[in-house]
Structure 1
Amino acid sequence: MRFESLYRHGFARIAACTIRTILTDPAANAAVILEVARECDARGTAVAAFPELALSGYSIEDLLLQDAVLDAVEAAAATLLEASRILRPVLVVGAPLRHAGRVYNVAMVIHRGRLLGVVPKTYLPTYREFYEKRQVAAGDGAPAGDICFAGATAPFATALLFEAEDVPGLILHTEICEDFWVPIPPSGSAALAGATVLLNISGSPITIGKAETRRMLCQSQSARCLAAYAYTAAGAGESTTEVAWDGQAEIWENGALLAETARFPRGAQYAIADVDLDLLRQERMRQGTFDDNRRNTPAAASFRRIPFRLDPPDADLGLERPIERFPFVPANPERLAQDCYEAYNIQVAGLTQRLEAAHIKRLVIGVSGGLDSTHALIVAAKAMDLLGKPRTDIVAYTLPGFATSDDTKGNAHQLMAALGVTGHELDIKPAARQMLADLGHPYSRGEPVYDITFENVQAGLRTDYLFRAANYFDGIVLGTGDLSELALGWCTYGVGDQMSHYNVNAGVPKTLIQHLIRWVIASGQFSAEVGETLVAILDTEISPELVPATEGQAIQSTEAKVGPYALQDFHLYYTLRYGFRPSKIAFLALRAWGDVARGHWPPHFPEAKRIAYPLKDIRHWLEIFLQRFFGFSQFKRSAMPNGPKVAAGGSLSPRGDWRAPSDGNARIWIEELRRNVPEA
């Protein structure tokens, strides 16, 4: 299967469809269902669900018991079965049918001319405007076995799952309307039995506020079940004698909304989304209590699996789901503001607890004028404010070396002064020259040799001074290195950004830090003077400033060495949070970053930095990420200091989210990438 196909990467396309119903005209309704089904087929859909009693109309009341209606439903079902032979999607269609002396409200599951199964509604509402028990029987009391219907024989039961043999992880379950309004919906047991895509075909007349309740139930069920949940309600054409209908359709995945339709449509429409079956499998595998719950739920053992072959398409169908360019940084402004509020206060809360519990008098921090140390300093200032301590108890040093620019040093001084901390400048160059001379390094003889020793002498001296200053001032060293640097090993072991007494940034990725600083400015956490300095720092090139640049030469760039943090944080998120294969991460990265115009950018993201990355670049930088993350940097993470977990995407603390051997290697990840991702 080609690299561009969504089905190659563990996705399945799902549609939740609504139609304009013609009451008591099953043939006409079947024709509309087939028209929509053909559209779904053309878009490579695996499953298309239609509303409750879609063939007859939900709102026909006692007409459900008329033989003429039931005969016409069976004839229409036969039409659907025959027409489905040339269609790919599994069709889940609501209908009334006769069985064992009663009428049942069922979901017919149809695929390529087969009636895979018939699932009756379990819970029948008889309150307020509902009188379903007057016409139909509850499915949980129906005789077990097969049903002969529309010229086909199929299982008739509430506990049926439908499993695609050729799409790993695509296992369907359907329930009907009221079934998910009860405290323990059938879909919960179905999920424990293995279902990954839960369908709800619904009638559900609308009243004020009900749509939001449906959304809440869909979201909650998808999150609790670690599943996709597709919901479709009856819409136009249903009788408005006593109630009205809104045709709500939406698809959720593990608590996240993937797609929804407009409400109150005049005709047929559908929500369509690509469900990530790998993501659901990984979540269930990691969350062991999910399987523990299965072991304590007898109903989960009662389900029967019905196999089918989908024959998924090999074409490039695009990807019908939102993919954030910055998975740690939501593009939605309200959500981003909420995330920044929580992240900043998690950091502040972590630091205040450490200071109080350990009876720490002062904080010592190195301030370079770059993003990471700036953010750590404004976290420290807020922590001191909350504790009622003077900000002068923060002892801040800027420690210029051989490549420190006037801009960053100036920003450091301005920020320290604006915040009112105790600021110092300590020039490390004399001590560095002495150490390089003691080592016999070529630089001490006037040679322009800027190797790793030259760089780390500076990083090490800064850390030496900070730790001794902490002894002198009776304080602790506050770390500044971030999650992205820890992932890439872009920190010097035992010194520099890797070591401190407590690191507030250890759980914050580089791509989020700039937005946290913007939020601090916008929310008025500090004075206007502080805000102006923070704005200047946001425009600073990310650089370790360890290697001098000659005239006309660009300054040392971190991203030229380890890759764009925008891409590397993307790779980190899907590696750490979900354990995806490198080829899938590359596929997702191409969908997120392949086109500047596709999708949304975070608020206030600079236009000049809105760039695209072709697959060739993604593959290149992903290989570097894999080599650095799996190949050699774990030993630095194994010895990292304490610091709070911040992002839901995970942390790299060996005491928290991430445990791995320090002597591992990256071979199998790099081989998978090279084998399955084309070079261009």
Structure 2
Amino acid sequence: MTSRFFNLYSHHFARVAVAIPRIRVADPAYNVEQTIKLAQQAASEGAALVAFPELGLSAYTCDDLFHQRALLDACLEGLQTILAASRSLPLAIVIGMPLRVNHMLFNCAVAIAGGRVLGVVPKSYLPNYGEFYESRQFTPADCASVDQIDLFGETVPFGVNLLFEVANLPLLRFHLEICEDVWVPVPPSSFAALAGATVLVNLSASNVVVGKSGYRHQLVAQQSARCMAAYLYTSAGRGESTTDMAWDGQSLIYEKGELLAESERFSDESHIIFADVDLERLSTERMKATTFAQSARRHAAEVAAFRVVRFDLALPVEHTMPLARGIERFPYVPADRARRDERCTEVYNIQVQALIQRLASSGIQKVVIGVSGGLDSTHALLVCAKVMDRLKLPRTNILAYTMPGFATSERTLKQARDLMAAVGCSAQEIDIRPSCIQMLKDLGHPYSEGTPDYDITFENVQAGERTNHLFRLANFHNGIVIGTGDLSELALGWCTYGVGDHMSHYNVNASVPKTLISYLVRWVAETGTVVAEGQSQVLIDILDTEISPELVPGGAVSHGTDAKPAQSTQERIGPYELQDFNLFYTLRYGFKPSKVAFMAYSAWHDNAAGRWPDETGTRNQYDLDAIKRNLSIFLFRFFKTSQFKRSCVPNGPKVGNGGSLSPRGDWRAPSDSEATVWLDDLANIPDSSKGPPP
């Protein structure tokens, strides 16, 4: 179990490769030698599939040499050589070559594994414009009169309707098309994806001209996104004839619109790129997007025409094989600064637009909000400020209240006051302690008699009194209460039922996780979007404040603004950066805990491949034991104890594809389910002491 846990294939990843060999025109023996070397390199790196460029055995630029028998025979001899070499290689190899079938010449992709030809796919669309004259030498696939051919005494499937499936990794089902096939309005790979292909492979030559590199990216990204598939795009490099064209060897690996790997362009040497494709993610995306199946049904004839060729591979599942794919530690927060700023801009504007619509539809012009001096209420207040600006209403229409209680620290109280002043809202302060004492006295609670009993009732009385004040203030001033609780708190059930971090008239933070809220506040501070540049320090101070409910008296009350609060939220429920990671992959993709833990380990351990948002954030690291411990907390709270709170949350906008927990949106679940199956799966994960060597 130990080695299997640390093996990417055990978690339905597949390592794929695209090879760019240096070739010689019309020299199959040399080209075969380069092909075998790169295939061996791919196998040594644990790849299950490697793809080579279009007509790679002969070179793409042979022109009328394709009609020379000596060249065609040499390509067949080269194919035999590759077949012999493949017997000892535990991966599928896809090569490009010219092939004669029934007195016609086809531009073909040949799939090979374990010393045999799995199938041959001819090119469907032959470009005959601009610099291309393929119809001069080749015949298009739809002219073929057979669906199987004889190669070296074996009967081999032939046609564009072939799917190749690894029997011992069935989610790895790949389809082959050739260059121009993906440049047409309806590529063959579109139907292949509907028939179950998760990996689409394009053997291309693709000469280079100005602007073509960017267009390739757009083309491959869109096809992989639309088909909910991985897409491997090969391209010819050094060695092709430059009589009338040039070649850059640009090869790409995309997964559902996201670039995983790209080759070096204009390289002088043979080289190869790798990526670990998440096959389960692709399968889950298709399962959740029910329109994918509807589209398959509407193209039932095309889907039914596909033939599946199954074969086994000796995958290295018994060996430690760490994930080479970069896993971002903050899946809700892009690591790249430009993308992160774009994300913050969009999320912020979604929240603002949603609240504008709610106020406009209700005819209400005032909002009521509780300001604690912590992260969530800070961001909600910043959203309210921009809403008033957009509605051309004074910011004094924001009725903001800070309500210190028994454990409110000097630091957070000062931050609440400074924040309200910086925003320019109507700022007021209500001491809730007298009303709390009255409530505790009515309950007969020991605290009302002077006994320091800080139980859950003591905490919830404070939270309840704040909420009661806010709703009555909204009644009195004809406003609505703006909620501040975030997605992370809802996931973990870290909110008191029916009070301010759970209940409101409208919650702008409902689908924003804690890690993203931190960066939203920082983004506002840096851009001056709401608060003037000279007043943004309060936002930085809030970001540096430890997250605490501040309901139990402690050192912070009596020891000034630098004191540590008596309660630490993250010590109780785990670090938000890790719990948000767990939330994303559980909610968005429904991955098993063992896979979530494997991905977390890949991102967060000492030698992790995951990335940090570049200029901020602590550099925490988590070993496997810490990952398991916090994931256990998450699973128990998420699946067992917290759904009843999520079943009645107020309205609020969904902001991202990471999902929401609204019962009217992404998440509908019973309030009395068990967490057993998730915790059982987690229990099978090895301890850190049994982990792989660093």
TM bracket (short chain): over 0.9
Preserved CA contact (<8 Å) 2:403 2:431:
yes
Amino acid of the structure 2 residue aligned with 1:382: K
Deviations along 1:85-138, whole A, 9 cap, x unmatched?
Answer: 000110000000111101111001000101000000010000000000100111
* Cα distance in 1 between the residues matched to 2:147 and 2:637: 57
- Which of these residues, 294, 301, 317, is aligned with residue 296 of structure 2? 294
* Cα distance in 2 between the residues matched to 1:411 and 1:441: 31
Preserved CA contact (<8 Å) 1:259 1:321:
no
- Aligned match of 1:39: 41
How far apart are 1:276 and its partner, in Å?
Answer: 0.5
- Aligned match of 1:539: 544
Amino acid of the structure 2 residue aligned with 1:633: S
How far apart are 1:362 and its partner, in Å?
Answer: 0.9
* Cα distance in 2 between the residues matched to 1:496 and 1:666: 27
* Cα distance in 2 between the residues matched to 1:271 and 1:357: 54
Deviations along 1:180-225, whole A, 9 cap, x unmatched?
Answer: 0000000000000010000001011110011111111100000000
TM-score, scaled relative to structure 2? 0.96
Provide the alpha-carbon RMSD of the alignment: 1.2
Deviations along 1:293-333, whole A, 9 cap, x unmatched?
Answer: 01111211100000000121022222122211000001011
1:183 aligns with 2:185: yes
1:602 aligns with 2:605: no
- Secondary structure at the counterpart of residue 109 of structure 2: strand
Amino acid of the structure 2 residue aligned with 1:558: T
- Aligned match of 2:392: 388
Deviations along 1:592-624, whole A, 9 cap, x unmatched?
Answer: 111276443113313xx2110000000000011
1:667 aligns with 2:661: no
- Aligned match of 1:636: 645
Amino acid of the structure 2 residue aligned with 1:573: F
How far apart are 1:440 and its partner, in Å?
Answer: 1.8
Pairs within 5 Å for 1:83-482: 83-297=85-299, 298-314=301-317, 315-482=319-486
- Which of these residues, 577, 582, 596, is aligned with residue 571 of structure 1? 582
Amino acid of the structure 2 residue aligned with 1:559: Q
- Which of these residues, 572, 577, 580, is aligned with residue 561 of structure 1? 572
Pairs within 5 Å for 1:56-71: 56-71=58-73
- Which of these residues, 545, 549, 553, is aligned with residue 548 of structure 1? 553
- Secondary structure at the counterpart of residue 498 of structure 1: coil
* Cα distance in 2 between the residues matched to 1:127 and 1:677: 59
* Cα distance in 2 between the residues matched to 1:24 and 1:598: 42
- Which of these residues, 519, 527, 541, is aligned with residue 523 of structure 1? 527
Preserved CA contact (<8 Å) 2:484 2:500:
no
Gaps of 5+ in 2: 690-694
Preserved CA contact (<8 Å) 1:369 1:410:
yes
- Secondary structure at the counterpart of residue 247 of structure 1: coil
Amino acid of the structure 2 residue aligned with 1:115: V
Tell me: CA distance 1:554–1:522, structure 2 relative to 1, closer, same or farther (3 Å): closer
Preserved CA contact (<8 Å) 2:104 2:139:
yes
Tell me: CA distance 1:515–1:120, structure 2 relative to 1, closer, same or farther (3 Å): same
| Count of residue pairs brought into register by the alignment | 678
* Cα distance in 1 between the residues matched to 2:388 and 2:78: 73
Q: Is 15-24 or 432-441 further displaced after alignment?
A: 432-441
Amino acid of the structure 2 residue aligned with 1:311: A
- Secondary structure at the counterpart of residue 201 of structure 2: strand
Amino acid of the structure 1 residue aligned with 2:476: Y
- Aligned match of 1:611: 620
Q: Is 462-471 or 543-552 further displaced after alignment?
A: 543-552
- Secondary structure at the counterpart of residue 5 of structure 2: coil
- Secondary structure at the counterpart of residue 552 of structure 2: coil
- Aligned match of 2:692: none
Amino acid of the structure 1 residue aligned with 2:490: L
Q: Is 429-438 or 574-583 further displaced after alignment?
A: 429-438
TM-score, scaled relative to structure 1? 0.98
- Secondary structure at the counterpart of residue 14 of structure 1: strand
1:17 aligns with 2:19: yes
* Cα distance in 2 between the residues matched to 1:198 and 1:393: 55
- Aligned match of 2:601: 590
Deviations along 1:347-381, whole A, 9 cap, x unmatched?
Answer: 00001110111011211000000000000001000
Preserved CA contact (<8 Å) 1:418 1:529:
no
- Secondary structure at the counterpart of residue 439 of structure 2: helix
Amino acid of the structure 2 residue aligned with 1:300: V
Tell me: CA distance 1:46–1:596, structure 2 relative to 1, closer, same or farther (3 Å): closer
Amino acid of the structure 1 residue aligned with 2:131: E
- Secondary structure at the counterpart of residue 211 of structure 1: helix
1:511 aligns with 2:520: no
* Cα distance in 1 between the residues matched to 2:380 and 2:276: 39
Preserved CA contact (<8 Å) 2:324 2:609:
no
- Secondary structure at the counterpart of residue 497 of structure 1: coil
Q: Is 503-512 or 424-433 further displaced after alignment?
A: 424-433
How far apart are 1:553 and its partner, in Å?
Answer: 6.8
**Percent identical residues:** 56
* Cα distance in 1 between the residues matched to 2:119 and 2:78: 17
* Cα distance in 1 between the residues matched to 2:147 and 2:362: 68
Deviations along 1:274-294, whole A, 9 cap, x unmatched?
Answer: 110100000000001101101
- Secondary structure at the counterpart of residue 178 of structure 1: helix
* Cα distance in 2 between the residues matched to 1:503 and 1:342: 17
- Secondary structure at the counterpart of residue 248 of structure 1: coil
Preserved CA contact (<8 Å) 1:596 1:612:
no
* Cα distance in 1 between the residues matched to 2:685 and 2:399: 52
Preserved CA contact (<8 Å) 1:250 1:260:
yes
Deviations along 1:493-513, whole A, 9 cap, x unmatched?
Answer: 111300000000001000001
How far apart are 1:639 and its partner, in Å?
Answer: 0.5
